[in-house]
Amino acid sequence: MDRFCCILLVSLSGVSTQFVPPYTEECQTGMYPPKGPTFKGSVTWYTIDLDLPPSERWKLIITDKKAELVTLIQAIRDLANAFVPSGKLIDLVDKDLPLIVNTLPYPFNEEIKGIATASGVPLGEVVLFNIFYEVFTVCTSLVAEDSNGNLIHGRNMDFGLFMGWDMKNRSWLITEKLKPLVVNIDFQRGNKTVFKSTNFAGYVGMLTGIKPHAFTLTMNERFSLDGGYIGIVEWILGHRDGMWMSFLTRSVLENATSYEEAKRLLAQTKLLAPAYFILGGNQTGQGCVITRSRVLSLDIWEIELKLGRWYVLETNYDHWKEPLFLDNRRTPAMKCMNQTMQANISLKTVYDVLSTKPVLNKLTTYTTLMDVNEGKLESYIRDCPNPCMPW
């Protein structure tokens, strides 16, 4: 399945006729501190102790979020059964995906098993939940350098494309069910922070995180006709060459110690599918978008003050190509960054940019803001009141 085709199909099928012409707005200002109808709530903090055996680590979070997780899994099951009415798809998930868990690398295999035990959700469905994000995350991420050389990293996590459009509420079913699962996690060893992330409870990879005083990292999906999801299918069929993308970001956040080391690992590790990694460091010039194919880094696009490039910004299209005309979040986001100017860049103004439609859209589950030198990560659950683009 390819995003381009899907967006075209969905457009033709009428979802977007609710939104013609595409709804965009002037750059927002004064949105921070978050309030009003685009702010749905703050995100709870949890601690995960990396000194515990992996199967124990998620217990507290899952105990708290069990009801929300079960509701989400039921919604996914309903969608799958609507798609394949015989129920065969979910049978397959329950029967075959549990076998996959043992092929996943440590500690991810053990953590996933622990989550299944703590939640009572069948193991295959927890595996599906964990694979899921590798496939359907569409986002906006940016790293900007302020006039003092501090790096600010922001992202909108947009998730749930094509997962059940609700005509009445004008919302995506899965996106809405994910919002209550958003958590902030402080991963510790020896009672000291190793890294922090914004995550969905029960998902063991990382999509958004900070290693305080060292680097910040987000991942966006890259749709590619050649790369596709062949690697994931190959993994399931037994050809296990390459790393799951969000497991790599988790390993980098946990074990890399500098921007340079993180950059090298993200650029050089073989992957199961293409991806964009957006990485910020702790000193001037350290911000980049790494465009990956499965095998190699196609391009590293860096902040370059000499060229007037004081920020890098990525949605879901290669930066040297035009975005799909039906899905252009890049131009509005860049317009607002340009309008803000380097002298005014801060968590506050980055939140304004990420609050401007269609950068903020019906898929946006959360906004995260990170300041590496302060060691700060803050996240907010988002809503996009009508009129608002579905993606």
Ligand X SMILES: *[C@@H]1O[C@H](CO)[C@@H](O)[C@H](O)[C@H]1NC(C)=O
Measured from the CB atom, the residue of 213 and 239 that comes closer to ligand X is 213
Q: Which is nearer to ligand X, 3 or 330 (CB)?
A: 330
Q: Does 186 bind ligand X (CB under 6 A)?
A: no
Distance in Å from the first CA to the final CA of the chain: 17
Q: State how far the Cα of 39 lies from the Cα of 381, in Å rounded to an integer.
A: 6
139 is catalytic: yes
Position 302 contacts ligand X (CB under 6 A): no
Q: Which stretch binds ligand X (CB under 6 A): 66-74, 133-141, 163-171, 291-299?
A: 163-171
Establish if 258 lies at the interface with ligand X (CB under 6 A): yes
- Cβ of residue 43: shortest distance to ligand X, in angstroms? 19
When asked if residue 358 is in the footprint of ligand X (CB under 6 A), the reply is no
Residue (74 or 257) nearer to ligand X, CB: 257
Closest CB to ligand X among residues 168, 321:
168
| Shortest separation between residue 2's beta carbon and ligand X, angstroms | 26
The reply on whether position 255 binds ligand X by CB under 6 A is yes
Among 171, 220, 365, 379, binds ligand X (CB under 6 A): 171
Q: Residue 66 or 319: which CB sits closer to ligand X? A: 319
Is there a contact between 274 and 106 (Cβ–Cβ < 8 Å)? Answer: no
Which position among 74, 103, 169, 268 is part of the footprint of ligand X (CB under 6 A)? 169
How far apart CA 68 and CA 178 sit, in angstroms, is 8
Among 63, 74, 338, 386, contact with ligand X (rule: CB under 6 A)? 338
Subset of 268-287 contacting ligand X (CB under 6 A)? 282
Between 93 and 318, name the residue whose CB sits nearer to ligand X. 318
Whether residue 210 contacts residue 282, with contact meaning beta carbons closer than 8 Å, is answered with: no
Which of 5, 6, 27, 139 does the annotation list as catalytic? 139
**Do 10 and 162 meet the contact criterion of CB atoms below 8 Å apart?**
yes
Q: How far is the CB of 147 from ligand X (least distance, A)?
A: 9
Long-range contacts of 339-344 (CB under 8 A, 24+ apart): 339/27, 340/27, 342/144, 342/145, 342/146, 342/147, 342/310, 342/311, 343/146, 343/147
Binding residue (CB under 6 A) for ligand X from 113, 196, 250, 294: 250
Per residue, what are the HEC states of 80-133?
A: HHHHCCCCHHHHHHHHHHHHHHCCCCCCHHHHHHHHHHHHCCCHHHHHHHHHHH
Alpha carbons 43 and 180: distance in angstroms, whole number: 9
Q: How far apart are CA 188 and CA 196, in angstroms?
A: 9
150 part of the interface to ligand X, by CB under 6 A: no
Residue 128's nearest CA partner among 175, 96, 158, 106 is 96
Report residue 154: phi and psi, to 5°.
-130, 155
Rounded to a whole number of angstroms, the minimum distance from the CB of residue 333 to ligand X is 8
Out of 63, 103, 257, 386, the residue judged to bind ligand X by CB under 6 A: 257
- Would you call 171 helix, strand, or coil by DSSP? strand
Report the residue number, 296 or 341, with the smaller CB distance to ligand X: 341
Supply the DSSP string of 296-319, one letter for each residue: SEEEEEE-BGGGTB-EEEESSS-T
Number of residues that bind ligand X (CB under 6 A): 26
Enter the tokens of residue 343: 């002298």
Q: How many CB atoms lie within 10 A of CB 343?
A: 8
Binding test (CB under 6 A) with ligand X, winner from 254, 265, 299, 300: 254
Q: Which of 20, 167, 225, 343 binds ligand X (CB under 6 A)?
A: 343
Alpha helix (H) residue ranges in 258-299: 259-268
Per CB under 6 A, contacts with ligand X among 206-245 are 213-214
Q: Kindly list the catalytic residues.
A: 139
Binding site for ligand X (CB under 6 A): 51, 107, 166, 168-169, 171, 176, 190-191, 213-214, 250-251, 254-255, 257-258, 282, 308, 331, 334-335, 338, 341, 343-344
